Amino acid sequence: MPNTLQHYIDGLWVDSQGGRTVAVINPATDQNAADLILGTAADVDAAVVAARRAFETYSQTSREERVALLERIVGEYQKRVPDIARAIATEMGCPISMAQTAQAGSGLGHLGQALNALKNYEFSEKIGDNRVVREPIGVVALITPWNWPMNQILAKVGPALAAGCTMILKPSEEAPSCAAIFAEILDAAGVPPGVFNLVQGDGEGVGTALAQHPDIDMVSFTGSTRAGIMVAKNAADTVKRVAQELGGKSPNIILRGTPLDKALPGGVGGVLLNSGQSCVAPTRMLVHKSQHDEAAEKVGALFAAKKVGDPQVEGDHIGPVVSQRQWDRIQGLIQTGIDEGATLVTGGTGRPEGLSQGSYVRPTVFANVTPDMTIAKEEIFGPVLVLMPYEDDEDAIRIANDTPYGLGAYVAGDPAHARKFVSRIRAGAVFVNAGGLAFDMPFGGYKQSGNGREFGKFGLEEFLEVKSVIGALPEDVD
């Protein structure tokens, strides 16, 4: 098992200064999967001192040196994919097949794009006799969630390393083992001491200390909007940069007249993937009123056919949600949907048939959902889809935008028809006809879904500061 009882600081595994131990629960069995040390502000201080010291030298490394380092990390990461997959399946319940491919594979995808961005990025631009240079912002705090653990770690660590920053990572306390494995990967790849530091812990103890720390130059946070607001408030007194990727309630507009057998499976798959625990999942399906009932029947059949089971078993099924606390919240929202008058098409409260333990949720579909209903407004973060009828294109756009979130949106149907929606929808990404995430495209949200962008060169730029050099210099001076 990876080491989750110590922190990785300044190139060494070290004991916590005053931390306490808690259990990490396997959501499929309700049993203890690991023990975790919850760090303290003193641990954060030690990590920041190491990162600040390392920044003096690492920030001055050449592009070629950082390319070589990232290439070594890729090699070491590939060796540990099976370990990463087992940790994800055990701690957050993602089926082992998906954990091995999409979950662990997303980390490799981000490493590859960080490499591409670093190789091709112009860090210096001449404007007349002057020059604009882009330099690493400094010491950065990276706070990541449990739902896509390696995806979010590498979406931050890869470009931060490419930019020349040093860092402190605080992963989710609900899925900490991936981060410990990743620290071992970086150690094996020869990352210099202090460049990467791992402090395990929770938001109250470690996250707050990171956001408030005067010697941290930037916080990059992925998580709930509620937690993101607290990070921003804690960071405000030190006027540090805060980049955030937060919650979502993405609409999926099925254009009027679109063949449903063609349009529905992609939207269904996007909700069921990862047991619905994806911030960009298309959880609000908007269907023209003339096709709503047919869509409800077809979507209900697809959800009802989805198997739910043991994440350690290979196969095309979904696992549990991450925790009993999350299960309780989802059950409450499903019951609220019933109480507020939405039509329950399939699923509902309780565990799926045959499962007497674990945080398993019945794949659930509601129809005839109106914008004022709780399940149309709140991010459920489970395998729950709501179908909402609309009158015409203008009504669809109004409903799509009727949310405090703006992370993603989906449009299915004739591309010429879909085009008119792209500029009207307030979201950071619009996926047309089941287009998926691309690691070289910017990812981030409008409104309360956050600020800043990740992935590829856009993620690299988040970790760079802009400097004007005014006055003629020799051409070889950057």
31 & 90 share domain: yes
| CA 280 to each of CA 226, 267, 381, 440: distance values in angstroms, whole numbers, following the listed order | 17, 11, 10, 17
Distance CA 243, CA 78 (A): 29
Distance CA 115, CA 109 (A): 10
Q: What would the pLDDT profile of 288-322 be if each residue is shown by its tens digit? A: 999 999 999 999 999 999 999 999 999 999 999 99
| Residue 155 belongs to domain with CATH number | 3.40.605.10
315 & 453 share domain: no
202, part of any domain: yes
**Taking a C-beta distance cutoff of 8 angstroms, is the pair 418, 397 a contact?**
no
- The total of structural domains in the chain comes to 2
What integer pLDDT is reported at residue 99 of this predicted model?
Answer: 97
456 & 359 share domain: no
475, part of any domain: no
157 & 91 share domain: yes
Q: What is the mean pLDDT of residues 223-232?
A: 96
| Residue 357 belongs to domain with CATH number | 3.40.309.10
332 & 416 share domain: yes
374, part of any domain: yes
Q: What is the mean pLDDT of residues 123-143?
A: 96
What integer pLDDT is reported at residue 454 of this predicted model?
Answer: 97
120 & 241 share domain: yes
Given pLDDT bands bounded at 50, 70 and 90, which one contains residue 473? confident
Q: What would the pLDDT profile of 438-449 be if each residue is shown by its tens digit? A: 999 999 999 999
Q: What would the pLDDT profile of 329-347 be if each residue is shown by its tens digit? A: 999 999 999 999 999 999 9
275 & 239 share domain: no
333, part of any domain: yes
Estimate the crossing angle of helix 149-163 against helix 177-189, to 10 degrees: 30
474, part of any domain: no
What integer pLDDT is reported at residue 475 of this predicted model?
Answer: 66
What integer pLDDT is reported at residue 431 of this predicted model?
Answer: 97
| CA 148 to each of CA 88, 91, 179, 315: distance values in angstroms, whole numbers, following the listed order | 9, 11, 12, 19
What is the 3-class SS of 224-243, one letter each residue? CHHHHHHHHHHHHCCCCEEE
217 & 258 share domain: no
Q: What would the pLDDT profile of 168-227 be if each residue is shown by its tens digit? A: 999 999 999 999 999 999 999 999 999 999 999 999 999 999 999 999 999 999 999 999
161, part of any domain: yes
Q: Above pLDDT 90, what percent of the chain?
A: 97
163 & 271 share domain: no
- Contacts of residue 179, defined as CB under 8 A and 6 or more positions apart, other chains included, come to 144, 149, 153, 169, 171, 198, 200
Given pLDDT bands bounded at 50, 70 and 90, which one contains residue 478? very low
Please determine, for residue 467, whether its predicted confidence score (pLDDT) is greater than 90: yes
163 & 273 share domain: no
Would you give the end-to-end CA distance of the chain in angstroms? 46
What integer pLDDT is reported at residue 476 of this predicted model?
Answer: 52
Q: Is the pTM of this model over 0.85?
A: yes
262 & 165 share domain: no
1, part of any domain: no
Domain extent, residue 240, equals 7-246+445-469
377, part of any domain: yes
At 94 the three-state DSSP class reads: coil
What's the chain's average pLDDT? 97
What integer pLDDT is reported at residue 97 of this predicted model?
Answer: 96
270 & 185 share domain: no
Active-site residues, by number, are 245, 279
